[in-house]
Amino acid sequence: MSTEAQARILEDMDEERAADILEEMSPDDAVDVLDEMDDEKSEQLFNLMEDHEKADVAELMHFDNDTAGGLMTTEFVVFPKELTVGETIRSLREMAETPNMIYYLYVVEEEDSWKICGLISLRSLIFADPTKNFEEVMRSEFRFAHPSESAENVAQTIAEYNLLALPVIDDEGDIAGIVTVDDAMETFLRHHRSIPA
């Protein structure tokens, strides 16, 4: 179902119910749907959202749609580099909420930091020695995008390097979000459909 169709359905619903549905969506999808509504309706539904989900959506609203920032989601998992593989797997199991699609775990310098220093695929994590810490098993060199980078460039990078997700890193070196392969490919296909053959 198109984003526009989703927006029309939510506009016709009871507002509380529509806000509940927006809260269940990933933040990037919720922003896209709100963008399709008229400003007044969009603001009403946004204001009815719970604070936590509202904060995630608000974080993405100021990015242009055709940039990495506009394409990214804030649903990703970070762990500090001093954790061991075993501790990380245990923490993942104990998490109350995890993103629907976890392709990679992002490694940050320390607890409560967003300063990214590496990543590891979920598959690599599962097969790694549980006694090793992240610094020993993570990839410290990886592809990434800047929030202002064009959505088309992001899609090309994801396709060219066969990635499942691409971290978006701001000027301070903090991870701001990730662009998943499905969102990147939608952008890629949309752009190439609009070019005459």
Condensed to tens digits (0 to 9), the pLDDT of residues 88-133 reads 999 999 987 777 778 899 999 998 889 999 999 999 999 999 999 9
Instruction: For residues 85 and 111, state if they share a domain.
Output: yes
Convert the pLDDT of each residue in 134-150 to its tens digit.
999 999 999 999 999 99
Backbone phi, then psi, for 169, in 5-degree steps?
A: -120, 130
Q: Does the structure show a pLDDT above 90 at 164?
A: yes
Q: Does the structure show a pLDDT above 60 at 194?
A: no
Sign of CA dihedral 92, 121, 136, 74: negative
Tokens describing residue 163: 């990635």
Residue 84 burial (CB < 10 Å; 0-12/13-18/19+)?
Answer: middle
* Residue 135 belongs to domain spanning: 78-188
Mean pLDDT of 148-156: 93
- Closest listed residue to residue 182, CA positions, set 149, 148, 159: 159
- Closest listed residue to residue 155, CA positions, set 68, 35, 77, 37: 68
First to last CA, the chain: 26
> What is the C-alpha to C-alpha distance for residues 133 and 86, in angstroms, rounded to an integer?
9
Q: What pLDDT does 33 receive?
A: 92
- Domain annotation covers residue 22: yes
- Closest listed residue to residue 42, CA positions, set 28, 31, 52, 53: 31
Q: What pLDDT does 197 receive?
A: 41
Instruction: For residues 83 and 37, state if they share a domain.
Output: no
- Read off the pTM: 0.82
Confidence of residue 195 (pLDDT cuts 50, 70, 90): very low
- Closest listed residue to residue 58, CA positions, set 31, 22, 37, 26: 31
Q: 27 or 190: which carries more pLDDT confidence?
A: 27
Instruction: For residues 34 and 109, state if they share a domain.
Output: no
Instruction: For residues 90 and 141, state if they share a domain.
Output: yes
Q: What pLDDT does 193 receive?
A: 59
∠ CA 175-176-182 to the nearest 5 degrees? 100
- The number of distinct structural domains making up the chain is 2
Instruction: For residues 86 and 178, state if they share a domain.
Output: yes
Instruction: For residues 83 and 58, state if they share a domain.
Output: no
